[in-house]
Amino acid sequence: MAARRAVNPSRRLADSGSVPLVSSLHQKSRTSPLLSIGLVLVGAFLLIGYSYRGSGGFVSDKEAISRDGGGSCTSEVLQAIPILKKAYGDNMRKVLHVGPDTCKVVSKLLKEDNVEAWGVEPYDLEDVDTSCKTLVRKGFVRLADIKFPLPYRPKSFSLVIVSDALDYLSPKYLNKTLPDLARVSSDGLVIFAGYPGQQRAKVSELSKFGRPAKLRSSSWWIRYFVQIGLEENESVIKKFEPAASKRSYKGSCQIFHLSS
């Protein structure tokens, strides 16, 4: 740590008028030139790397994940819950959330008045806390592969909210999964999806999802919705947008409100 906090070399030269570091290395080079050269190279690399990192040009994998939340739209769902309640009203009485970190969404929904909530985690539950384990044990959250039909009867929920999960499915599986999500909903389907070109945390994606996200444009999604018989819910959109504006909500994910 002392090396990183050292005084600027140019300032030291101006103060002393000598070159103590270079002269010291020069003396050592008489007995161990390779060691001296190595020390100089390592010092230069640390200084360059430190300054470059400070300018935002060098980021570790962990920092990249923490900066954008792993590219997660689930965090967007958590922020949007009050707005969704405003837009859907009584239709948000029985909710199913499908996506990574669903325990967080279910926990927050259960704190809302007159809202029942369940969740489906499409991927492995890793490093979950006690609260999440309790939700799983009580059956509020379950682990299920969404490439296959969900274990629920038709219209089991008034509203189904999906975040991130569809970004990792190819059209082959979307053709099965999306209609099935619409099947278990009676009043609406809300999809949170990433924007094309959005920076994602590649390391966390490959370890958790097995493949990088396929981020699609809004025009692609809308065409696809029409092909499988889903249409945008204009009445809800007209309520959601002003409610979002009133709360100064500016999401970083695409949001689609659908009805079958």
Confidence tier at 120 by pLDDT (50, 70, 90): very high
Torsion (CA) 47, 50, 54, 58 in degrees, nearest 10: 120
pLDDT digits (tens, 9 = 90+) for 30-83: 445 665 665 556 555 444 443 333 333 322 322 222 233 345 899 999 999 999
**In this predicted model, which residue has the larger pLDDT, 52 or 132?**
132
Could you tell me the pTM of the whole model? 0.70
User: pLDDT by residue (tens digit) across 206-251?
Assistant: 445 556 778 899 999 999 999 999 999 999 999 999 999 999 998 8
Per-residue pLDDT of 158-186, as tens digits, reads 999 999 999 989 888 999 999 999 999 99
pLDDT(154) > 60? yes
Q: What is the DSSP string of 162-190?
A: EESGGGG--HHHHHHHHHHHHHTBSS-EE
Q: Is the pLDDT of residue 85 over 70?
A: yes
18: pLDDT strictly greater than 50: no
